[in-house]
Structure 1
Amino acid sequence: MKIVPSEAPRLRLGPAKFGPDVFAVMGIVNRTPDSFYDNGATYGFDRAWDRVEQMIAEGADIVDVGGVKAGTGPAVSENEEIERTADLVTAIRDRYPDVVVSVDTYRSRVADVLCEAGAHLVNDAWAGSDPELATVAARWDAGLVCSHTGGHPPRTDPRGVVYDDVMADVVAGTTGLAEAALAAGVRRDGILLDPTHDFGKTTYHSLDVSRRLDELVATGWPVLVSMSRKDFVGETLDLPVEERLNGTLAATAIAAWQGARVFRAHDVRATREVLDMVAAIKGHAPPRAPRRGLS
């Protein structure tokens, strides 16, 4: 079912409602010892909690908690994933009831436990590889991210990837998952589409997706982008992870201008400032301290 832009729903995730002209920042907390970004800096609870409080102070609307590295690496059982994440999910929900809690998982059993612990959004980066995930989201009245991986299974890197038209594949795949989620009982205003940069894609594909993001936005579904310090940024600029912020922010501004609504980010303050600037240029928000030439 295609939704025309004029009928695009407001986005409702747990305690929060985001209008069509509002940009939401999703801050990332990795409870993993082998994150590509920080190599386990927030693996322990205390460090993770410090990160949560920092991100919320810097303007995060959503906190995304993950317990398994997205890429290849040692196997992590469902029980271990739950042990890494459930206590933090509960703590955020209790301490910050107005903040949306997201869980980055592709497993329905894990999602079930974490939604019971207080999560409002299931961030499935692996394109419905577990067909029960949408049912779990519906059971708990949680939102769901519908992503695109080009058929690649969880935790695999792309190899020899070819598309006739990568954005056409993204649109078909994500909207198909959104329709299936609706049929499973997930709220329409809780579903987001993620083109899923890097996953099942070369850098050329991710750049094409970025320049044509308005085609996904035109489906009417709210769009989430997760581009923070990813390989397509690093390969484009030939820079390591720690030097990819500027490239990430450039891609963020372009995605925001094209209509993306939610931005998954490691660098919350910088992302918030970029989005606030885009919102002001688009006329969706006033400047915070206008003085020049007014007196």
Structure 2
Amino acid sequence: MPLLLPELAHPLHAFRHCTVDFSRRILVMAVVNRTPDSFFDDGATFALDAAVSAARQAVSDGAEWVDVGGAPFAPGPAVPPEQEAERIVPVIRELRRCSGPAGTAIISADTFHPAVAERALEEGADVINDTTGLSHPDVARVVAEAGAHLVITHSLARPRTPYPSPSYTDVVTEVATFLHRKVDQAVSLGVPAEKIIVDPGHDLNKNTLHSLELTRRFEEITALGFPALAAVSNKDFIGETLDQHKSARLAGSLAAAQMCIMQGARIIRMHQVGPASSIARMSEAVFGWREPMRMEHNMGPANAPADRSVGLGDAVEWEELLQH
């Protein structure tokens, strides 16, 4: 697959607690769900202390972004906004009280309720991650008033309702068109274009072939000119492709994330942060955006006379190279 790095209309994004240059960075978004029936960990971070601890550990493992959710996307009984806020807001509050990187990490609230979004932003969230594609347009108004960021995700069903047998003529084209339209809507409601991120919504009202096609043609999503989020971690399209339980999908998740990165994804939403951080940092180094952490291999003085491949002139002393 060729390397595809599309131009970003607004590469520099000023979040509320940090600034990111997406022309040179790939961020890892950790997942912390305060739900008793969360998709991946079956409620392991439902308790407040467990959720905060998981978020802090994720940042320690290399995540720059923590996504806090209080209601599953999957079809099921509605979670009242008051209950959802009671799950999300205390986590955000506790993280903002932390010293060090955990206190300054980007935090998003995964919600489609305007009231929940408002409370999350008041407690220090930087981003509202709306996985329903602005099913409630007032979410965009709340985000605009707070000067926050908005993630717009492609999905077709009403929140928490089933959407059996989704059908597309061309899934990638239709997803890109949807996202373009929703971006225009968000901008019309006051959200600046430089505070918008797009997510094609792997598996959300899509079957496995649809999600594989989105992964193969992810460059058509990044061609929209906004930082693109690839939320592929442990999803069913990986499990069905490889016939694996969700507990065994790490390698497939990393492969899918890497394919999206090579086509311009700038954020990867992953459950296992350590390995995800490694592929993000490695990708940045390969792209020429990041220096290696150290240089030792074949760097001894004995290698200097014969090594002409590093592009250094004879006037450069080898000890100087070692210092870099």
TM-score normalised by structure 1 residue count: 0.95
- Which position in structure 1 is the counterpart of 2:31? 28
Matches of 1:156 and 1:250, distance apart in 2: 30
2:20 pairs with 13, 18, 23, which one?
Answer: 18
Q: Deviations over 1:62-92 (max 9, x none)?
A: 1111000110233311111011111111111
* Cα gap change, 1:6 to 1:22, in 2 (>3 Å): closer
- Which position in structure 2 is the counterpart of 1:127? 133
Deviation at 1:93, TM superposition (A): 1.6
Is 182-191 or 133-142 further displaced after alignment?
A: 182-191
Residues 167 and 212 in structure 1, CA contact (< 8 A), matched pair in contact too = yes
Residues 166 and 209 in structure 1, CA contact (< 8 A), matched pair in contact too = yes
- Which position in structure 2 is the counterpart of 1:55? 58
Deviation at 1:9, TM superposition (A): 3.2
| Larger Rg, first or second structure (1 or 2) | 2
The one-letter amino acid of 1:76's match is: V
The answer to whether the aligner puts 1:271 opposite 2:273 as a matched pair is no
Deviation at 1:214, TM superposition (A): 0.5
The one-letter amino acid of 1:24's match is: L
Deviation at 1:217, TM superposition (A): 0.8
Aligned residues: 291
SS at match of 1:7: coil
SS at match of 2:187: helix
Deviation at 1:157, TM superposition (A): 4.0
The answer to whether the aligner puts 1:171 opposite 2:173 as a matched pair is no
Residues 11 and 222 in structure 1, CA contact (< 8 A), matched pair in contact too = no
SS at match of 1:5: coil
Deviation at 1:276, TM superposition (A): 1.2
Provide the aligned C-alpha RMSD in A: 1.3
* Cα gap change, 1:291 to 1:188, in 2 (>3 Å): same
SS at match of 2:19: strand
2:105 pairs with 86, 95, 99, which one?
Answer: 99
Residues 78 and 160 in structure 2, CA contact (< 8 A), matched pair in contact too = no
- Which position in structure 2 is the counterpart of 1:224? 229
Alignment of 1:31-180 (within 5 A): 31-95=34-98, 96-149=102-155, 151-180=156-185
Matches of 1:257 and 1:12, distance apart in 2: 24
The answer to whether the aligner puts 1:206 opposite 2:211 as a matched pair is yes
Residues 214 and 258 in structure 1, CA contact (< 8 A), matched pair in contact too = yes
Deviation at 1:54, TM superposition (A): 0.6
Residues 192 and 224 in structure 1, CA contact (< 8 A), matched pair in contact too = yes
Q: Where in structure 1 are there 5+ consecutive unaligned residues?
A: none
SS at match of 1:219: coil
The one-letter amino acid of 2:245's match is: P
SS at match of 1:291: coil
- Which position in structure 2 is the counterpart of 1:287? 292
Q: Deviations over 1:3-38 (max 9, x none)?
A: x82634322322222211200111110000000101
1:233 pairs with 231, 234, 238, which one?
Answer: 238
Matches of 1:113 and 1:24, distance apart in 2: 25
Q: Where does structure 1 differ by over 6 angstroms across 4 or more consecutive aligned residues?
A: none
Residues 82 and 114 in structure 1, CA contact (< 8 A), matched pair in contact too = yes
TM-score normalised by structure 2 residue count: 0.87
The one-letter amino acid of 2:27's match is: A
The one-letter amino acid of 2:298's match is: G
Matches of 1:17 and 1:127, distance apart in 2: 25
Is 189-198 or 276-285 further displaced after alignment?
A: 276-285
Residues 36 and 43 in structure 2, CA contact (< 8 A), matched pair in contact too = yes
The one-letter amino acid of 2:40's match is: Y
- Which position in structure 2 is the counterpart of 1:258? 263
Matches of 1:157 and 1:265, distance apart in 2: 24
